[in-house]
Amino acid sequence: MSITTQSEHASFGGTVGFYGHASEACQGEMNFSVYQPPQARENPRPVLYYLSGLTCTPETFMVKAGAQRVAAELGLILVAPDTSPRGNDLPGEEADWDFGTGAGFYLDATMEPWSRFYRMYTYITEELPALIDHHFSTRGPGHRSLFGHSMGGHGALTLGLKNPLAYRSLSAFAPICAPSRCPWGEKAFSGYLGDDRAAWGAYDATELVKAHRHPAKILIDQGLSDSFLKDQLHPHLFEEACREHGQALELRRHRGYDHGYYFISTLMEDHLRHHARHLL
């Protein structure tokens, strides 16, 4: 369970670090980033996991989101994994920006050849937390929360709903809320899971919430000038399913904001404080 340190940088009294390790789940080298707040030098801290969107790397969140200042104040460890395995030379892996490299969709693929490497669900829920708890000053299981953006918002909602006791709180920025009913999700699910649409529901938040609930209120922020809102994201479908099946949800809609990190960084402090109320 060893890791390789790629670089570390002082930030708001703590440390931003970039690391790699050999992953059993993904059968190859995986990378991740960690922000350790200054309090971690004195005592173990809770961990907030951030799942990034399509094309992103572990660097995207740490560079663009503006999260370290508030995380340092609150004493939260931040972890940002990669968005897929990389460099496996699979047919079509590099052909499109919304499938393959940078587009793992936080699921365990069942179709060959993807099923040998693209096991992001197992990686995020099992292997990575064990690695983080081993190498960093965390409070361990029971002291984790989860959030994400776009494809990563989809990941946060689905992983959190399927594992409600593993994460104290959930939130998302502009998540893909009903991937079974949008072009991004249909492309990814058919490639990774096959054509049996019944199997897709296991990774669709709007379907999952019909049978799974999280004990904490879920926070979602959505920009109304998001170019992907109409065709890809469908937050209204998740909102309707939550209302019908008893999941507490706060869905906030914001005029003038789009899909990018100007939007995310504007609301990042709200999300960190949302999770701190549950973690601290």
CATH assignment at residue 48: 3.40.50.1820
Calculate the dihedral angle through the C-alpha atoms of 268, 272, 275, 279, rounding to the nearest 10 degrees.
160
Dihedrals phi, psi of 66, to nearest 5 degrees: 65, 40
CB atoms within 10 A of CB 167: 25
Token pair of 216, please?
A: 């904490």
Say which residue the tokens 């309090």 belong to.
39
Q: Respond yes or no: is residue 150 known to be catalytic.
A: yes
Q: What are the CA-CA distances from residue 96 to residues 78, 93, 176 (Å)?
A: 29, 7, 18
d(CA 32, CA 81): 4
Q: Does residue 213 surpass a pLDDT of 90? A: yes
Annotated catalytic residue: which of 52, 150, 171, 180? 150
Q: Does residue 203 surpass a pLDDT of 90? A: yes
pLDDT band at 1 (very low <50, low <70, confident <90, very high): confident
- Residues 215-268 pLDDT 10s: 999 999 999 999 999 999 999 999 999 999 999 999 999 999 999 999 999 999
Residue at 256: amino acid letter: G
Q: Does residue 77 surpass a pLDDT of 90? A: yes
Return the ∠ at Cα 222 (arms to 157 and 190), rounded to 5°: 50
Return the ∠ at Cα 58 (arms to 9 and 92), rounded to 5°: 150
Q: Respond yes or no: is residue 271 known to be catalytic.
A: no
**Across 75-96, average pLDDT:** 96
The average confidence (pLDDT) of the chain is: 98
Q: What are the CA-CA distances from residue 7 to residues 18, 51, 82 (Å)?
A: 5, 21, 16
d(CA 265, CA 149): 11
CB atoms within 10 A of CB 259: 21
Q: Respond yes or no: is residue 259 known to be catalytic.
A: yes
Q: Which residues contact 198 (CB under 8 A, 6 or more apart)?
A: none
Annotated catalytic residue: which of 143, 214, 234, 259? 259
- In terms of residue numbers, what domain contains 44? 4-279
- Residues 186-198 pLDDT 10s: 999 999 999 999 9
Q: What is the pLDDT of residue 220?
A: 99
Domain count for the chain: 1
pLDDT band at 275 (very low <50, low <70, confident <90, very high): very high
Annotated catalytic residue: which of 145, 214, 226, 274? 226
